[in-house]
């Protein structure tokens, strides 16, 4: 699948700054973990959480359009429930280690709210139609690594012209 689009709008630049700030905060969390854990599963957990939040928020935004993808998002969450729950648990645990259980939970909630708010006006370069196709493909994807690679491309700082799933 090829995504076609122009330069990110000015509002998209605010989104990038928000995501960069969120990423920096998660980087501090990663630094508190063992090198092997930080390099793999925790980084993927953060990507999966951001991907899930982006899809949830944008599916709500697109629900009144011809490209409503609520059903596709439902399939995505159903098919990947264990991976999404594990990602949430890993992030909660990492924050609890870093800040304590109460402050860690509050900080994680704050960061996830920032992520959700970043997509409140829609995805910076993907239309509802693009997101519907991507979500349908993600629902059928296999493995955390594939989901993390797709997350890099869908919620990463740079837009990609080809999604990971298109190569699988």
Query: 34-84, pLDDT tens digit by residue?
Result: 444 444 689 999 999 999 999 999 999 999 999 999 999 999 999 999 999
Tally of domains within the chain: 1
Output the furthest CA–CA distance in the chain (Å, rounded): 46
Tell me, yes or no, whether 143 lies in a domain.
yes
Q: What is the dihedral of CA 117, 83, 20, 54, to 10 degrees?
A: -30
Any domain includes 137: yes
Inside any domain, residue 166: no
Is residue 5 domain-resident? no
**3 is a domain residue:** no
Q: Which two tokens mark 9?
A: 């709008």
Judge if pTM exceeds 0.75. Answer: no
Q: Which of 48, 15, 23, 16 is nearest to 120 (CA)?
A: 15
Domain that holds residue 14: 10-156
User: Does 163 map to a domain?
Assistant: no
Q: Does residue 2 sit within a domain?
A: no
Distance between CA atoms of 155 and 50, rounded to whole angstroms?
A: 7
């Amino acid at each position: 699948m090829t995504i076609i689009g122009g330069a990110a709008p000015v509002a998209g630049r605010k989104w990038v700054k928000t995501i960069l700030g969120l990423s920096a905060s998660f980087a501090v969390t990663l630094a508190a973990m063992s090198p092997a854990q930080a390099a793999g599963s925790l980084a993927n957990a953060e990507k999966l959480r951001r991907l899930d939040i982006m899809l949830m928020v944008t599916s709500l935004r697109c629900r009144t359009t011809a490209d409503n993808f609520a059903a596709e998002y439902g399939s995505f969450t159903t098919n990947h429930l264990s991976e999404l729950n594990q990602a949430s648990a890993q992030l909660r645990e990492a924050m609890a280690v870093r800040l304590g259980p109460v402050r860690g939970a509050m900080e994680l909630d704050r960061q996830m709210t920032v992520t959700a708010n970043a997509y409140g006006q829609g995805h910076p370069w993907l239309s509802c139609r693009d997101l519907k196709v991507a979500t349908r493909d993600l629902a059928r994807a296999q493995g955390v690594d594939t989901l993390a690679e797709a997350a890099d491309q869908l919620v990463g700082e740079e837009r990609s012209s080809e999604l990971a799933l298109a190569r699988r």
